[in-house]
Each structure stands twice: as structure tokens, then as C-alpha cells.
Amino acid sequence: MYPKEFEYASPTSLGEAVALLKKMGPDAKVLAGGQSLVPLMKFRLASPKYLLDINGISNLEYIKENGKFISVGALTRHHSLERSELVKQKLGLFSETASWIGDPQVRNNGTIGGSLVHSDPAGDWGSAIIASRALLKIQSARRERIVDSDHFFKDTFTSAVAPNEILTEIRVPVPPDGGRSAGAYEKLERKAGDFATVGVGVQLTLSRNRKTFEQAGIGLTSLGPTNLRGKKAEKALVGKNVSLETIEEAGTAVSEEVKPTDDVLRGSAEYKRAMARVFLKRALTRAARKAGASGV
């Protein structure tokens, strides 16, 4: 099916883009990689009157370290995050997450910003930003604001980004002391390239002697109306011994706090709850080992 007719604009600066969004009003849609929006338009589930293509804005696509943060431009492709040496070295959770998204075509075109604003609870990036406690920079014609990852997802397919705003940057805190911090993303999918039946992102920092969990971030995919934080599971870890027993307790906590639904394609809520437990334990064990823990 073809999309309905629309007017197209291709600004070359952020200032021009937000001014155009203000003028066009709520009938406008931002176009980034088009991997979610274009199919929606073809099925006529979205029929924007104006399409604002931000691909001509050159300074929205970057990965750089700025002091305490690694800053990622919203237009950065999944593939760039998967391949970046800086991301591999300091944000293993992000390179792993990127590698699980769709297929090479989707990863070459799709952007981290588009994925986050789309706010599909089955989107993998949502869990990475929650686990890493990232900040999101959002721009309108009037102001710039920063939203933290716990307040970014408002509902299924609804983010904190208003129709007159553009998500410009994802700021990820650099984990403390490289060697004792590590992240991992584990995903259960029906077949290669599928959306998650269950996905779990973790970001850990161990104490200097590697005996206790000092910090823990847990993001959950396809386990509720939005990506969720595994709050009870995080609590079950922080300050506790790095041991199989502690990881088991976090697994029990996560299976009690998730909010999955039955679905004919990917299984019952009960199955997803059980898989959340299994996949969290896998992600925690792997991240703890990467951070130098022994005995897990």
C-alpha cells in the first residue's frame, strides 16, 4: 500500500527543523531512519500531513566522550553503535544491544533516537538507556530540556518527546573504573532478527575487591506496557555478595515485578515471567564475570 500524500521538508540545521515543527503543528512527523515510521505510513496507521526529514542535519550523528558521559547523537545508526570501538570498550551493554536489533538493513538505517521516540515496549534500546541511567536531550523552538530515562517512556508508543520537539542526544554516564564495571544484553527471540519475546539489559559495577555488587541497573524489554526498570531486582543486588545465591534472588524478584501479557505469537505471560528470570540470571552472570567476579 502507498502512504497518503504528504508535504516533505528537509532542513539542514536543528534550528531550522524546530522552527518548521512549530509552524507545521501536530500534523507533522519527524523522519529519521524510517524503519518504523515508513511501514506505519504504508499501512496508513500514520498519515502525517508533513514529513520533516532530519537526515540532512549533519551534527545529529556522533558518538563522543565528554567527561563523565558518552554522548550519542539521536541520528546515530544502530550499526555505528554496534561497531564503535569507544562503545565496545566503555559501554559493552550498548554494543551488545545494537547487535540484537533486526537485521543488517534495519541496523544500517534505523537510529537510536527514532527507536526511543517510537517507544515500542519491544524496542531493545529502551532497556539499555534504563539500565545505564542515561539522560535524553530534547529540543523545541523555545527551549532545550533533559529528561532522565525513568521519565522518558510515558506509555506504549508514547515518549516524553512532544510533537514540536526533537530528541537530539542520548547521554550515557561512563561507568566507574572500566575494569570493575560491565554490561550485558540478553534477548530471547523466536528467530534471528525478531523483536524480543523477552529482553534484559544490565549494567553492573562491582566493589574494588569484586566481592559485592556496588551498583546495578536493569532494563526490561517486552515485559510491560513500556520498557521497565527492574527495581526490585536491582535492590536484591546492591550491597550484596557477588554469588549465585544473590543472582538467584534477583531472578526471583524480577519474575515477581514484571508485567507481561499473553500473546499468541510469543507466548503466555507466565512463560515470559519465567524467561525474565532465566535471562536476567544469564545477563547478570555474564556481566559480573566480565567485571572480574569469580565464583559466579
Interacting residues with ligand FAD (CB under 6 A):
29-37, 74, 101-102, 106, 110-111, 113-115, 117-118, 123-125, 161, 166-167, 195
DSSP, res 212? B
Nearer to ligand FAD, 30 or 253 (CB): 30
* 3-state SS track over 177-189: CHHHEEEEEEEEC
Q: Which three cell numbers stand for residue 240?
A: 550484596
Nearer to ligand FAD, 161 or 288 (CB): 161
Nearest distance from C-beta of residue 118 to ligand FAD, angstroms: 4
Nearest distance from C-beta of residue 111 to ligand FAD, angstroms: 3
Nearer to ligand FAD, 100 or 213 (CB): 100
Nearest distance from C-beta of residue 115 to ligand FAD, angstroms: 4
Nearest distance from C-beta of residue 295 to ligand FAD, angstroms: 34
Nearer to ligand FAD, 13 or 89 (CB): 13
Nearer to ligand FAD, 167 or 275 (CB): 167
CB 129 within 8 A of CB 152: yes
How far is it, in rounded angstroms, from Cα 239 to Cα 207?
9
How far is it, in rounded angstroms, from Cα 234 to Cα 158?
25
Q: Which of 249, 248, 241 is nearest to 293 (CA)?
A: 241
Sequence-distant (≥ 6) Cβ neighbours of residue 205 within 8 angstroms: 175, 176, 177, 180, 181, 213, 214, 215, 216, 291
Nearest distance from C-beta of residue 162 to ligand FAD, angstroms: 9
Q: Which of 111, 120, 107, 116 is nearest to 138 (CA)?
A: 116
Nearest distance from C-beta of residue 68 to ligand FAD, angstroms: 23
Please count the other Cβ atoms lying within 10 Å of the Cβ belonging to residue 162: 11
CA atoms lying within 13 Å on the CB side of residue 27: 9
Nearest distance from C-beta of residue 57 to ligand FAD, angstroms: 9
Nearer to ligand FAD, 104 or 295 (CB): 104
How far is it, in rounded angstroms, from Cα 257 to Cα 223?
9
How far is it, in rounded angstroms, from Cα 88 to Cα 37?
29
Residues making up the chain, counted from first to last? 296
